[in-house]
Structure 1
Amino acid sequence: MSAVDEVSVAGGVRGVEPGPPTVMTGRLRLVLVVLLVAQFMLAVDFSILNVALPVIGKGLGFSLANLQWIATSFALCAAGFTLFFGRVADLFGRRRLFLAGLALLGISSLVGGLATSPELLLIARVAQGLATAAVTPAGLSLLTTAFPEGPLRDRALGLNGALMSAGFTTGAILGGVLTDLLSWRWSFFINVPVALAVLIIAPSVIKESKPETRPKLDIPGAITVTAGLLALVFGMTQAGEHGWTSPTALISLALGVLLLILFYVVEKHSSSPLVPVSVLKRRTVAWGNIAGLIAFVTETSLVFLMTLYLQEV
């Protein structure tokens, strides 16, 4: 019992509960830096290759129409597997998945930087997307569990959101600088020392985190949402490449919508859903998702198209 509580009880006054801590310790600062560096690096990867696309195309033999797959192969995996890996992190340990994802990111970045063919580069981008899908939810969970609810957690989440937003723009600028001064390959290589540094520091400062109640994997939900997102993004890609009347695009889009509707139905009746349906019905969550979707779609498409236009046209 604190001195304040003892005085209050002695005087017949109800004890005053201490509020959540507001001062960040040295260890928490180090945890925050490690997690923010990892999340910022992932955000940078979304756009760091955009400026280098024409140079990559000429160097490895990509046609102009196929350059989009350098970005799309990454986005397909990053978007399609995030929810699934979020549940895997809950089951097997968030720190464990966080470190495994960073190791995969470092290896795939090294492979991408050394790539000598379009196929090898796309394989590296797919692996980077899978790594992003694993590290993003695990890192966010570690951030919320490392900091107690209150001002410290609010500050940590605010910094994380600001750096994630800044990372998309920083990636485009950094990619241009690296391509101009060194080579487009350094847009991959730059991830390697950062991932290695985080892998060395993180195990000693970040504690393992698992939910108190072990959740189920929710295989039907994982399959429907992953396949639905993959089909939806693939359908939009095909529509952009071959037109909105393309049978492949229409079938993929229709399949994606049907699978996401099925996902909603599955989650509604699941005892351990990946996404609780009740949360999605909240107005603040719904409007936040809509605003985030509009902002993300606008910025990523604008950066991709403008960098190609300014260099090629």
Structure 2
Amino acid sequence: MTAVVDVTQERMTRRQRVVLVLLLSASFTLAVDFSILNVALPDIGASVGFALEHLQWVATAFALCAAGFTLLFGRVADLFGRRRLFLAGMAVLGIASLIGGLATSPGVLLAARVAQGLATAAVTPAALSLLTTSFPEGALRSRALGLNGALMAAGFTTGAILGGVLTDVLSWRWAFFLNVPVAALVLVVAPFVLAEARPAIRPRLDVPGAVLVTLGLLAVVYGLTVAPPALLVGVVLLVAFVLVERKVSAPLVPLPVLRRRSVGWGNFAGLLAFATETSLVFVLTLYLQEVLGFSALAAGLSFGVLGVGTVLGGIVGPRVIGRFGSVRAIVVGLLVQAVATVSLVLVGLPGSWMWLVLVATFVGGVANLVVIVGFMVTATSGLPNAEQGLATGIATMSQQVGITMGIPIMSAVVVAQQSVLGGVTTAIIVNAGLCLVGALVVAGAFRPRLKSAAVG
């Protein structure tokens, strides 16, 4: 059954509003999961017996599965049903979160984090494709994607703050337990409001392609977070995946989709947007704690202004896209983000520069969300409903790989310098430079489109 949408529709129906609230609640919860445990890691290690050198696996196990399996699950959603995969993923998330909150040993905790990562890889593209197929391409879809982007970005910031608050006031275990009632509520409501969508004739799943792309992405993420030599293995596997996709009759990822300018370059912009902003938060956390002497909780609360900026960016992003087109929104957003970021080099001068951090992160947060909404609109536009799971799976993969790769890159830049402040300043310049290069590359890739009518 394929959802039918009215392309002339200008206002959301009551059912669409319920669908939007439901899917945004799920997306916000998953975004919180990415960062909520970071502040609590020392307490987790002490509680369940994790050695300090192995503590990173609490985050890495989640990131590996969330990024490595997202493209596979995005395509599975197209073939076997988006609602079915969404509900299954939310059920796994609820159970895994309950187990994680009750864990008393490292093995059980890591198993729960792996299951949470797999649930995220399933739910995120399924929720996004349900969102894009529930709203017609144009202003309504842009508005829905804008709100989705705003809440996801706010979720990352909220997770950092909430993790500190829960750990200090209650226990790190509540960072897991928080997901359980949300998952239960979604599972109760979703079957009544979400329409199923899958092809009438279901092609066979491309198993060789699925294995190669999943192992390739796992190797890439593992290389970015733990062992750099694994990057080469990941690249080889992904090249083999492309070769396989050229020969099979029903490829997991039809190569013509990847060759579409909107998909390829749109996802390049999205990867860059997530890599630069999340890594900038890491860099500024070092500045606030190591240079200014803030506590972990105070540093987390300082990013509340960034959270406000991202929410505002998600709200104004669709309006910018409606006025200037999604590609222009990406280019202008990256340029503004570059300017806001480079202004932070002034924190290296004597004196208190906390006001600059607040202003620059607010402006950069607004611009970054405009880029993210523009990327989502660009990367999912012009594709039939039957391929929306694939498109949103690729978009989710870009998001998660961007989040994963940004921090190791900026960490390497900081460590290469002789002082923390010198490393922070250098990383800020590199971060701003990436935004500028990204704007120029996207503008060049879409040059014919920018010269013609704006794309909504």
1:95 partner amino acid: R
2:145 partner amino acid: L
Instruction: Report how far residue 213 of structure 1 moved.
Output: 4.8
Aligned to 1:70: 58
The count of corresponding residues between Structure 1 and Structure 2 is 285
Which residue among 207, 221, 226 is the counterpart of 1:233? 221
Gap regions ≥5 residues in structure 2: 1-5, 297-419, 421-456
Q: Secondary structure at the match of 1:33?
A: helix
Aligned to 1:291: 269
Q: Secondary structure at the match of 1:116?
A: coil
Which residue among 69, 80, 87 is the counterpart of 1:92? 80
Structure 1 residue 159 corresponds to structure 2 residue 137 = no
Instruction: Report how far residue 33 of structure 1 moved.
Output: 0.4
Structure 1 residue 25 corresponds to structure 2 residue 13 = yes
**Distance across 2 between alignment mates of 1:260 and 1:95:** 29
Comparing 137-146 with 101-110, which one deviates more in the overlay? Answer: 137-146
Counterpart contact for 2:83–2:126, Cα < 8 Å: yes
Counterpart contact for 1:98–1:134, Cα < 8 Å: yes
Q: What aligned pairs does 1:1-313 form with structure 2 within 5 A after superposition?
A: 20-239=8-227, 249-250=228-229, 252-301=230-279, 306=285
Q: Deviations over 1:23-81 (max 9, x none)?
A: 21111100110011111111111111011111111112222221110111001111111
Comparing 275-284 with 37-46, which one deviates more in the overlay? Answer: 275-284
**Distance across 2 between alignment mates of 1:293 and 1:154:** 19
**Distance across 2 between alignment mates of 1:298 and 1:59:** 33
Aligned to 2:403: none
Counterpart contact for 2:79–2:198, Cα < 8 Å: yes
Aligned to 2:431: none
| CA 45–25 in structure 1, closer or farther in 2 if over 3 Å, else same | same
| CA 147–19 in structure 1, closer or farther in 2 if over 3 Å, else same | closer
Instruction: Report how far residue 161 of structure 1 moved.
Output: 2.1
**Distance across 2 between alignment mates of 1:90 and 1:284:** 20
**Distance across 1 between alignment mates of 2:156 and 2:251:** 30
**Distance across 1 between alignment mates of 2:104 and 2:276:** 32
Instruction: Report how far residue 187 of structure 1 moved.
Output: 0.5
**Distance across 2 between alignment mates of 1:278 and 1:145:** 21
Counterpart contact for 1:50–1:304, Cα < 8 Å: no
Counterpart contact for 2:61–2:117, Cα < 8 Å: yes
Q: Secondary structure at the match of 1:179?
A: helix
TM-score, L = length of structure 1: 0.83
**Distance across 2 between alignment mates of 1:123 and 1:286:** 34
Q: Secondary structure at the match of 1:131?
A: helix
Q: Deviations over 1:185-230 (max 9, x none)?
A: 1100000001111111111111111135533311121111100011
Q: Deviations over 1:225-275 (max 9, x none)?
A: 100011222233333xxxxxxxxx52x322211001111222233433333
Q: Secondary structure at the match of 2:246?
A: helix
Comparing 45-54 with 169-178, which one deviates more in the overlay? Answer: 169-178
Counterpart contact for 1:225–1:263, Cα < 8 Å: yes
Counterpart contact for 1:48–1:175, Cα < 8 Å: yes
Give the % identical residues. Answer: 69
Comparing 198-207 with 85-94, which one deviates more in the overlay? Answer: 85-94
Gap regions ≥5 residues in structure 1: 1-17, 240-248
Comparing 295-304 with 74-83, which one deviates more in the overlay? Answer: 295-304
Q: CA RMSD in A?
A: 2.3
Please tell me whether Structure 1 or Structure 2 has the larger radius of gyration of its CA atoms. Answer: 1
Counterpart contact for 2:36–2:162, Cα < 8 Å: yes
Counterpart contact for 2:101–2:174, Cα < 8 Å: yes
